[in-house]
Chain A
């Protein structure tokens, strides 16, 4: 049998092995024992989700701007509409006093007939302030 010579033979390995993932878990295990806060691992997808959420929020806010503007515009339009309607009824329609008389019933007429206590000075002031009233009275 050939004499064994360590330096002449192939390198002999130790033959030792470790449990699977031993070194992967070792660091975590030791960090816990040492009470060092483990490094925060932020998964890439989580970062992306936050970014997506920010973009989505900006997009939604951007979409809301015209809607909010429209709703305030609608309110203004409603106010304008009432004025327009009043003007329309006053100047643009053919509704005259006879039409009004036809629409009013007895109770409305009685209500109108009820005496209103007004002093002469008050009436004068009203006539001075509202020039239109004179026109209505004449009519």
Chain B
């Protein structure tokens, strides 16, 4: 925790900011990209959201009180940015979030940056059929292998509720795959 405080001080210090921010980028760019990509599904959108996330992190560091871990604070920003991006995109096309989700899944087959096979595509379709919260919990637990405690800090949901959410998500996915 002390190390994290020192690191935040470095990020706020104009003399050390540059080096510290490069360190932050190196540590977070890949896991954050994966997290965002699993929400927005498309690479270009993930790239935009990832950049916006880091810009928001950089601009709001001075307001970071250290009440939560830096890791969960950054993930929370990334999650909000990705969900806001999807909602704005749906609004822009005058469609519902569910319709947009299905459209994005359909586009995956033609996406040069999706190399998934039949089962991987089917899994993505199954996930898209879940409610938003269950989707998030499943992706963070199954693909990103985050601990329930970490997901709890990011999403602000109790560990018990997350376990129940994940259990429901798995059952629904299995049913979807078996029936399609």
Chain B stretch 32-49: residues in CB contact (< 8 A) with chain A:
33-34, 37-38, 43, 47
Q: A92 in the interface, Cβ–Cβ < 8 Å?
A: no
Q: B177 in the interface, Cβ–Cβ < 8 Å?
A: yes
Q: Which A-chain residue is minimally distant from B139 (CB atoms)?
A: A14
Main secondary structure of the interface of B (DSSP, over half): helix
Considering the chains assembled together, what is the distance between the CA atoms of A3 and B175 in angstroms?
9
Q: B88 in the interface, Cβ–Cβ < 8 Å?
A: no
Chain A stretch 1-57: residues in CB contact (< 8 A) with chain B:
3-7, 12-19, 22-23, 26-27, 29-31, 33-34, 36-39
Q: Which A-chain residue is minimally distant from B117 (CB atoms)?
A: A15
**Using a CB–CB distance below 8 Å, which chain B residues touch chain A?**
17-19, 21-22, 25-26, 29-30, 33-34, 37-38, 43, 47, 50-51, 54-55, 58, 113-117, 119-121, 123-124, 142-143, 170, 173-174, 177-178
Q: Is the CB of A15 within 8 A of B121?
A: yes
Note all chain B residues with C-beta closer than 8 A to A17. Answer: 113-115
A61-104 interface mask toward B, CB cutoff 8 Å, 1 = contact, 0 = none?
00000000000000000000000000000000000000000000
Considering the chains assembled together, what is the distance between the CA atoms of A29 and B55 in angstroms?
12
Note all chain A residues with C-beta closer than 8 A to B51. Answer: 29-30, 33
Note all chain A residues with C-beta closer than 8 A to B33. Answer: 18, 23
The 6 closest A-B pairs by CB, nearest first: A15-B116, A15-B120, A4-B177, A17-B113, A27-B25, A4-B178
